[in-house]
Amino acid sequence: MKTMIAKIKVKLPKYWKFWGLLAVFSAVFAAFYLWGIRRQNNYFGKELYKEITVPKGFGVEDIAVLLKKEDLINSKGLFKLYVLLGRRSLQAGKFIIPTNASVVEVADLFGKGSFQEKVTFIEGWRIEQMAQILPKAAQMDFLKSAYTKEGFMFPDTYFFYNSVSGEDIAKTLRQNFDEKISPFEDKIKESGFSLDEVVILSSIVEREARSFEDKAAVAGILIKRYRNSWPLQADAAIQYAKDLNESVCSSAQDCAWWDILSAADLEIDSPFNTYKYAGLPPAPICNPGLDAIKAVLEYKETDYWFYLTGSNGVTHFSKTIQEHNDNIKKYL
């Protein structure tokens, strides 16, 4: 007997190759589209934000051209497609755009406004002062964040969304510090100090003098004292130690940070008491700006061993302890 095997013919739909290729193409396009609109913008400049103005009457094409010209989006086509597919409305006005935002984030800003607040941190503030000008919900999160480190929260003007977390604020400040310090890596290596030591010295210099020339001269004196095993005798370091546990205030403006020292304060037993202990304090005492960091790395060598800053902000230098004591009587 012969075994009969039925042959079954499967009739494929007409144009099946076309539809199959179309499905594959559509899947690839969808994957590329979703990746492209959520990918962070490739921006190689130093700015964290850019402010742009969109005149009334600008359409999607005009805005896409403007954003691409300012290097705020990776692709004009993806931006236009995302806006048109979602039927999103774009508003005119002034906008502050993060330079690393995705197409989705940029388009959403234009649709509902930026809802960002301008925050300015002053050179020489400590992290508690910085926290006090943040939204209440972000203050404790900022102070507790693993990214928050005294001396490395770069003082600058920032723009944050109202809903930003304290941790993201700290991360942004640290990122800005890393970008600002990057050009000085070679100078730091040549200085003989570690990065932490440079920041510690810079934080003292920031609090002890005002102009760049005075900062450079003060840095020279402090480094000379350090290398000759002298106590640094920096009042600002003791102010920091004094206020570690004592200051409680409601705002950065009315708090008791950086109080004038009394004779008794000079006896505080703390590693930050640079009258009692030689060498550098164990950590920075504030967050220095770029001028103070430059002053340490480009410090000025002088014959001076002493300095003081008068109530009018002018720094007076002297070569001997007698001259220094005379300056104390004159200017304090």
Q: What percent of the chain has pLDDT over 90?
A: 52
Domains, the chain, in order of start with CATH, read 47-114 (3.30.1490.480), 117-180 (no CATH), 191-248+258-331 (no CATH)
Classify strands 116-120 and 315-318 as parallel, antiparallel or unpaired: unpaired
Half-sphere exposure of 117 (CA within 13 A, CB side): 11
98: helix, coil or strand? strand
Q: Tell me which of 239 and 249 has the higher pLDDT.
A: 239
Task: Report which residue type is found at 326.
Answer: D
Computed over every residue of the chain, the mean pLDDT equals 86
Q: What is the DSSP string of 147-205?
A: T--TT-S---EEEEETT--HHHHHHHHHHHHHHHHGGGHHHHHHHTS-HHHHHHHHHHH
Inform me whether the pLDDT recorded for 246 exceeds 60.
no
Inform me whether the pLDDT recorded for 1 exceeds 60.
no
Quick one: pLDDT band at residue 258, thresholds 50, 70, 90?
Answer: confident
Q: Enumerate helices (H) and strands (E) in the chain, giving the number of each.
A: 13, 6
Cα–Cα distance, 187 to 55 (Å, whole number): 46
Inform me whether the pLDDT recorded for 181 exceeds 70.
yes
**What pLDDT was estimated at residue 251?**
47
| Overall average pLDDT of the 244-262 stretch | 63
Question: What is the greatest pairwise CA distance in the chain?
Answer: 128
Inform me whether the pLDDT recorded for 115 exceeds 50.
yes
Q: pTM for this one? A: 0.72
| Helix residue ranges per DSSP H, 39-160 | 60-69, 76-85, 103-112, 127-132, 136-144
Per-residue pLDDT tens digits for 284-332: 999 999 999 999 999 999 999 999 988 777 899 999 999 999 988 888 7
Cα–Cα distance, 287 to 121 (Å, whole number): 9
